[in-house]
Amino acid sequence: MRGPHNIIRLIRTGATLERTGAMNVVLDAFEAPKPLRILAHTLGWPFKWLGYKGDPKMPPATRALTALGPAYIKFGQVLSTRPDVVGEDLAQQLRVLQDKLPPFPREVAMAEVAKELSRPVDEVFSEFSEPIAAASIAQVHRARLADSGEFVAVKVLRPGIERAFKKDVDAFYFAARIVDLFAPGARRLRPIDVIEHFDGVVQGELDLRLESAAASEFAANTGQDEGFTLPQVQWNHSARRVMTLGWADGVPLGDNDAIDAAGHDRQVLGARVLTLFLQHALRDGFFHADMHQGNLKVAANGDIIAYDFGIMGHIDEYTRRVYAEILFGFIKRDYKRVAEVHFEAGYVPADRDVDEFARALRAVGEPIFGMDASHISMGRLLNYLFEVTERFGMETRTELILLQRTMVVVEGVARSLDPHINIWEAARPVVEDYIKKSIGPRAVASDLLSTARVMARFGPRLPALVERALVAQVQDTEAHPRSSWGWLAPAMIGAGAGGLCVGLLALVL
């Protein structure tokens, strides 16, 4: 951990925001109070000369984040999906961060492809275009396979991207440790764990072999989903820093004018984006965790096309059920049950009052129901949610970070397509279907069956396990004569009953 380097990096962040004029833009977008504005300018202005200049042709916020590097660009991509939080103007400015960043030269990309595939580019591709899209980590070229004539998309990592991310993440770790040390009230947010989670996600994005595997698994899970299409991975032409996918034509999901001109129904698309995400998260526990407009298109037949599978989320069955029950409780406006689920899952400390927490949740949910989405201030709602989590001592759940982040992004995408969308009504059918299948009587029977199968597999090993436990206890008793044998009877009864149950279940199964 290079302390001086990290201090300079964080100072330079503030200085860059000040130098590019982005400081005021960001503070205005988040409606920062006057004391915070004074503090930010006081800390940033003296070091203004240390800030990056950036591209003067870009708007201030985009200019600053682009100059600061890929990790900051990732943050800007999330904000670009939330005009209801940062304002329409800033969201529009940041949208170029999704896939319209300055590209690196075609010749450099071709050299990288040749190196990774261990073959001259001309042998693999008969055509290789200039960059057609460039994001924070990689850029994409349209190419034609030499052997089949099929058009494909070739994704190539940016030169030196691994080192650039390492510098940023290193500084983020440093900042998290400072927060952990000097701001005890923020420890419940687990800043170090959050950065560790972010670091793991980034490392996965920097190996395109993992992205290819994720795309393949995602395609297998969603092959029967109506209105959803994925390009096919070309494994023979993919490697660690190069990924080749089938070509997918479509209208960018962030271009409302083009969507309207193509005759697509934006209300239908908005609802579909939301329901697809919920289906993948709840049904499969494996979802696209970077679903901003730059990674989505609309095909001529109205299908939503997803690509860029560098960030994928995974949640286990138990977490899915908790998440579904919380959503279902909000949909039914059963805030007491939502509160109880939080306590049962350990999301809220057990010493807090469940009824008081339920009332706080009601204050979050009630203003949303029956109100046009365009009249809901997500900025104020998020601020209140943060106050609630602080008041009830809720810690950050790192296993839910991607899920929560993606939900925010997906909701932003849906609202950009249909500003009047009713999020809860769109989510209701998916959540209700999952509840019926995963929390009702059928789910209980399925859980018992799964448990029985596991016990059946371990059944033959039970005698040996019991024998080893008895030998260990005998040896411990010889070494410590006063120790009690009182545990033995229940252990033997338990082992016998367990063996009997396993035997009976094995016969049934």
Geometric angle at alpha carbon 425, from 399 and 415, rounded to 5°: 75
- DSSP class of 299: -
Question: What is the rounded distance in angstroms from the CA atom of residue 10 to the CA atom of residue 178?
Answer: 11
For residues 136 and 77, the answer to whether their CB atoms sit within 8 Å is yes
The secondary structure of the chain in percent helix, strand, coil, rounded to multiples of 5, reads: 65, 10, 25
Evaluate whether 357 touches 339 at the Cβ level (below 8 Å). Answer: yes
Q: Going by C-beta distance under 8 Å and a sequence separation of 6 or more, which residues neighbour residue 503? A: 459
Q: Which amino acid is at 460?
A: P
Is residue 207 flagged as an active site residue?
Answer: no
Two tokens, residue 225: 């989903």
Please give the Cα distance from 199 to 173 (Å, whole number).
9
Strands 151-157 and 242-246: antiparallel
Residue type, 155: K
Nearest alpha-carbon partner for 383 in 76, 35, 33, 2: 33
Its sign, for the CA torsion 245, 249, 250, 254, is positive
Out of 290, 303, 308, 418, pick the active-site residue: 290
Nearest to residue 242, comparing CAs of 277, 269, 212?
Answer: 212
In 123-262, the DSSP E strands lie at 125-134, 138-145, 151-157, 228-229, 242-246, 251-252
Q: Is 138 helix (H, G, I), strand (E, B) or coil?
A: strand
Nearby residues of 307 by Cβ (< 8 Å), 6 or more positions away: 153, 230, 231, 245, 248, 295, 297
Is 207 within 8 Å of 83 (Cβ atoms)?
Answer: no
- The set of residues, in sequence order, having a beta carbon less than 8 Å from that of 182 and lying 6+ positions away, is none
- Residue burial 106-143, b: 16+ Cβ < 10 Å; e: rest: eeebbebbbebbeeebeebbeebbebebbbbbbbbbbb
393 CB burial (10 A radius; 0-12, 13-18, 19+) = exposed
Q: Distance between CA atoms of 276 and 353, rounded to whole angstroms?
A: 36
Task: Report the alpha-carbon distance of residue 92 to residue 221 in Å, rounded.
Answer: 33
Which residues are catalytically annotated?
290
